[in-house]
Structure 1
Amino acid sequence: MVIKVFLASSSGSTAIKKKQQDVLGFLEALKVDYAPLDIACNEDNRMWMRENVPVEKKPTNGIPLPPQIFNEESYCGDYETFFDAKEDNAVYAFLGLPPPPGSKKREVPMEECNRDEHTEEVEAEVGGETGEEAAEEAAEEKVAEEKEAVKDTEESLENTKAPVKEEEAQEEAEDEEAKEEEELRQLEEEEEEVTEEAEQEEEDE
């Protein structure tokens, strides 16, 4: 049984390219035999894919987008259903393949028996990563995202403070200027008073 993955090698969509790479990368990690079939360069591949995707699985416009996954003639699903199967640790069931011999369930303590029945199989498939390790990685990623968000907030606040500081400096400069003008006016008034007193004294003499 060969898994057929219908792809568009010359797709201009970054999202489609990423989905295709995700599917192929995961199949390679599981060492699953697959055949990539290009619908961009091969009209037969494109027509076969469109005709064999079930009607209920097609989008409203009737044209299914790659990647589309088949097991020989049997339709497995598109990227979304593949992703859901990967999240549920059920990729082999999704592909219609028996788990490899090396992925037999290992014996677990009774308190672990309530874990997902596929967990042990997928641990063997992807190199022994446990659900706890995956949870720790997810927690670390969340902490990193929160730190990044805090950093962005601090930078935003700094950018907000900068104009405020400029305004304060401008106000201080204006206050200083007004103060100097007031002092200058007082000096002029004092000079006028002195001049008037001098003139008065001369008149009195």
Structure 2
Amino acid sequence: VAAVGLTADAARREGLDVRSVCVSADDAAHYWPESARVHVAVVWEGGSRRLLGVQAAGRRDAKRIVDLASAVIAAGGTIDRLGAVEHAYCPPLAPAIDPLAVAAFCAQEVEAGRLEPVSPLAALDPATVLDVRVEAERRAHPLAAERARTPAEVRADADDLPDGLVVACERGPRASEVARLLAARGRRARWLAGGLAWRRAARETGR
């Protein structure tokens, strides 16, 4: 576990207009035997987009992620500057799209109003959950959800889906894409930030 700057709660106590997102990702290429899950939270000030803090938890990658974020915060950088950091692709040590880049992109989408996050710790009503995981993920970790669709199926029948759905996937990015798709089709949909992997990790650790 590693952290720099302010958590969302600490920033609120400072009276700041706080926004935050969290994502789950692999810390190496998904096919690499030692690849492990890493969870990243990004906290920023609404409007100014100023990066306030980053927290990370994972078996191997948390320190590197926070070290990079620390440099951006020290320079007074924004979520856009965080997203502009160039990351090396090294299959044993980093995936093609770095977890910090994924988190920064999601922060930019939230700030722009194209994504509405739901905390991975929030209570979920099965009637409003849209599960967009693949079948193997659903079997491995069942979820109480009245609707299960692949992203392709959502594209085909988006007009028949109701407003107010919470889109959930294993790590978050797939659900964010589907939520943006539904929004583009005139449906209000929220995204389970951090995905079900974050939700399970929080329950297992009691945090």
TM-score by length of 1: 0.25
Q: Which has the larger radius of gyration?
A: 1
Higher relative contact order (CA 8 A, sep 6+): 2
* TM-score between the two structures when normalised by the length of structure 2: 0.25
